[in-house]
Amino acid sequence: MSLFEARKVTKRFGGLTAVNAVDFNVQQGEIVGLIGPNGAGKTTFFNVISGFMKPDEGDVRFLGDSIVGHKPSDICKRGMTRTFQIVKPFPEMTVTDNILVGAFNHHRDAATANKKAREVMELVGLGAQAEKLGRELTVAGRKRVELAKALATEPKLMLLDEVMAGLTPSEVTGMIEVLGRVREAGVTMVIVEHVMQVIMNLSDRIYVLHHGEAIAEGSPKSITSDPRVMEAYLGESFVAEPGGEHAS
């Protein structure tokens, strides 16, 4: 049984089909990458599988149960959480309290939740900024808080939406390290990313979305040599034989 599975997920906005019958699965312990050119439907797909949008068709299953129609907070309780591309730290809370909100997910008691929050803070490398307010942080700091908040909910599966965007190369290296530690802690991850280097290095498997459809799936190596992927990214003129199947 897959840890997570999306079957024939479709999402339409009026006449526009943003996501078209996408199949997607994640096994325990994997890091799965999700890429695609701008407007490929990644964000919509991400919103659907994380419970922030309801699919028009198809099913989304986590730990064998359908989570369609469940609230994101319920899904989080079951062990799946997400981060936002436009990071959302609570601006008027300290870093500790930000993470504490996440830690309360499985610990009603403030003392144990606090302990959990400290643990996560160390893992993510935010110890020095514990007392800063959310709004006082740099972009890199915010991204880490975003990750820490999600991690504090003790997820089995974490969906990360562009955690590298806006970071300097050295910050990216730092973040890759952090994600490595997160993986060692036994958390399965789905990452949406624009920084190719990151996704190629981290992912075990990659899905490519184009015009709302999953056009390819496989190891980073096989993806880079897939003509459909090249076509999607570089345009038809670069490819000898156009695929010719576009979603309306």
Partner 1 sequence: MIRLRDHWFYLVVLAGLIVLPLFTDSDFVTAVMPSGLSGSALLHVFILMFFFAFMSQSWNIIGGFAGQLSIGHAAFFGIGAYTSTICYIHLGLSPWLGMFVAAGFTAMIGAGLGLISFHYGLRGPFFTLVTVAFAEITRLILLHWNFVGAANGILLPYSRDAGFWDFQFNGKEPYYYIALVMMLCSIALVAWVARSRFGYYLHAIRQDEDAAEAVGVPTKRCKIQAIALSAALAGLGGTFYAQYTQYIVPDDMVVGRVSVEILLGTVIGGAGTIMGPIVGAFILISVGEATRVIFEGGGTGISLTTLIQSDVGLAEKFSGYLAYLAGGGGGGLAVLLYGVLLIAVVLGMPGGVLPWLTRKRKSFAKSDKKGDS
Q: Does 144 bind partner 1 (CB under 8 A)?
A: no
- For 42, counting Cβ atoms within 10 Å of its Cβ (0-12 exposed, 13-18 middle, 19+ buried), the class is buried
Q: Does 92 bind partner 1 (CB under 8 A)?
A: yes
Query: Closest separation between CB of residue 210 and partner 1, Å?
Result: 27
Nearer to partner 1, 80 or 208 (CB): 80
CA separation for the pair 184, 95 (Å, rounded): 24
Query: Closest separation between CB of residue 185 and partner 1, Å?
Result: 17
Q: Which region among 31-39, 67-75, 169-177, 198-206 touches partner 1 (by CB under 8 A)?
A: 67-75
Query: Closest separation between CB of residue 205 and partner 1, Å?
Result: 24
Nearer to partner 1, 151 or 167 (CB): 151
210: CB partners within 8 A, 6+ apart: 36, 37, 40, 228, 232
CA separation for the pair 177, 23 (Å, rounded): 30
Lookup result for tokens 């562009």: 162
CA separation for the pair 13, 18 (Å, rounded): 7
Which position among 96, 129, 188, 203 is part of the footprint of partner 1 (CB under 8 A)? 96
Which position among 44, 81, 188, 203 is part of the footprint of partner 1 (CB under 8 A)? 81
Q: Does 101 bind partner 1 (CB under 8 A)?
A: yes
Cα 29 to Cα 33, 42, 118, 175, 189: the distances in Å are 13, 22, 24, 19, 8
Task: Look at residues 124, 137, 132, 131 and name the one whose alpha carbon lies nearest to residue 174.
Answer: 124
CA separation for the pair 238, 16 (Å, rounded): 27
Q: Does 85 bind partner 1 (CB under 8 A)?
A: no
Q: Which region among 96-104, 187-195, 204-212, 220-228 touches partner 1 (by CB under 8 A)?
A: 96-104
- Measured in whole angstroms, the distance separating CA 45 from the mean position of its chain's CA atoms is 11
Site size for partner 1, by CB under 8 A? 35
Q: Which region among 3-11, 81-89, 171-179, 232-240 touches partner 1 (by CB under 8 A)?
A: 81-89
Footprint of partner 1 on this chain (CB under 8 A)? 50, 52, 71-74, 76-77, 81-84, 88-94, 96-97, 100-102, 104-105, 108, 110, 113, 131, 134, 149-150, 152-153
